[in-house]
Amino acid sequence: MSVAASPRHSMDPPIRQEWLARWQEEILEPDLPIVDPHHHLWDVPDWDTRYLLDNLLADLKSGHNILATVFLQCWSMHRAAGPEAMRPVGETEFVNGIAAMSASGNYGSTEVCAGIVGTADLQLGERVKEVLEAHIRAGGGRFRGIRHAVAYDAALGASTTVPPGLLGDPSYRKGFAQLAPLGLTFDAWLYHPQLPELTALARDFPETPIVLNHIGAPLGVGPYAGRRDEIFATWAASITELATCQNVHVKLGGMGMGRYGNGFHELPTPPSSAALAAVWKPYVATCVEAFGAARCMFESNFPVDKGAYPYAAYWNACKVLARDASDSEKADLFRRTAARFYRLTLPSQA
């Protein structure tokens, strides 16, 4: 499997702690239970950030009530030796160790990495089953599925070195077919022009639970800059069509990445929760209307989005967006959808 040197794209803004520290705002609804279903952990010399348990805990303890988290693959801690196809299992081994540290109770009440999403090269076809089974063994009961990123645009490059049209490739689909029999889910990371490809895949594999990452990445840079209304219309139509696939869920986040063209990092101080919510509202509202709250989940995408706003600001903005939601809808958006999709056990009061 070919991968890029970093989980962050070259257009993602760098993390500036002194800039983030300028954000000053009270925490909204501090007792609201939350599951964060999308964050990363990494420590690689060639990458520009280190984000391990202590870094994550600093964000988790910024004022919101985070019950549990789900780790998403980011090409970190792959094995240095052994068969190439098996090397990503090292990431699951690494994260399961972090999860075991958290489960000791020594680091607070949040169940860090209660769910683990790794990666495997689905282009292996049926042979990927062996890799998936190795992940399951390494996950200590926490492994939930994979993400084999296919985000590709000829003008913008890719998060991983992938060819266009991979979701329709016969070998890839033979690999994808191995997920459902093993009870595994699929996280889809792609750009908005690729959404019809995901719809076709979801229709052909209705038994496989799929969650779309980062609202489907409506691009706003390069050839997409200055075309926000046009891009929104195209994206919204694709989202509405994708939502007809009942096996698909959507994560509401990732909108701090540079590819979205929101420019939050260019402000003299981090944006307020109200400012974030104002920009995100049309996208979040479209997703919730199309999928329903029971198939939507807020996600931080940290630390990738940390270049655009602090962790506390993200969840405050989500709470602003959910002000008009019913108690049941709010419970779905903030924790229950994620818990159902990733098979997490929450406290009875949540």
Q: What is the CATH number of the domain that holds 181?
A: 3.20.20.140
In the predicted structure, residue 85 carries a pLDDT above the cut 60: yes
Is residue 16 assigned to a domain?
no
pLDDT at 9: 61
What per-residue confidence (pLDDT) applies to 74?
93
Asked if residue 4 has pLDDT above 50, the reply is no
- Give the orientation angle of helix 311-321 with respect to helix 53-60, to 10 degrees: 40
Is there a domain that residue 299 lies in? yes
Confirm whether 123 is domain-assigned. Answer: yes
* Tokens of residue 241, six digits: 């069509």
In a domain, 14, yes or no: no
Count the alpha carbons within 13 Å of 320 in the hemisphere toward its beta carbon: 19
Token digits for 23? 């954000």
pLDDT tens track for 30-73: 999 999 999 999 987 665 678 999 999 999 999 999 999 999 99
3-state secondary structure (DSSP) of residue 204 = helix
| Residue 49: domain span | 30-342
Q: Quick check: is 150 in a domain?
A: yes
**Whole-number pLDDT of residue 1:** 38
Interatomic CA distance for residues 146 and 144, integer angstroms: 7
Q: What is the DSSP string of 137-167?
A: HHTTT-EEEE-----EETTTEESS---TTGG
What total number of domains does the chain contain? Answer: 1
Query: What pLDDT is recorded for position 11?
Result: 76
In a domain, 334, yes or no: yes
How much is the mean pLDDT over the chain?
94
What pLDDT digit, counting tens, does each position of 163-215 carry? 889 999 999 999 999 999 999 999 999 999 999 999 999 999 999 999 999 99
Asked if pLDDT for residue 117 goes beyond 80, the answer is yes
Q: Is the pLDDT of residue 125 over 60?
A: yes
329 inside domain: yes
Indicate whether 348 belongs to any domain: no
How many degrees, rounded to 5, is the angle at CA 98 between CA 94 and CA 103?
140
How do residues 226-261 score in pLDDT, each as one tens digit?
Answer: 999 999 999 999 999 999 999 999 999 999 999 999
* Rounded Cα distance, 315 and 44, in Å: 28
Peptide bond into 270 cis (omega under 30): no
Q: Say what the pTM is.
A: 0.96
Confidence band, pLDDT 50/70/90 cuts, at residue 162: confident
What amino acid occupies position 333? L
Residue range 311-316: mean pLDDT, rounded: 98
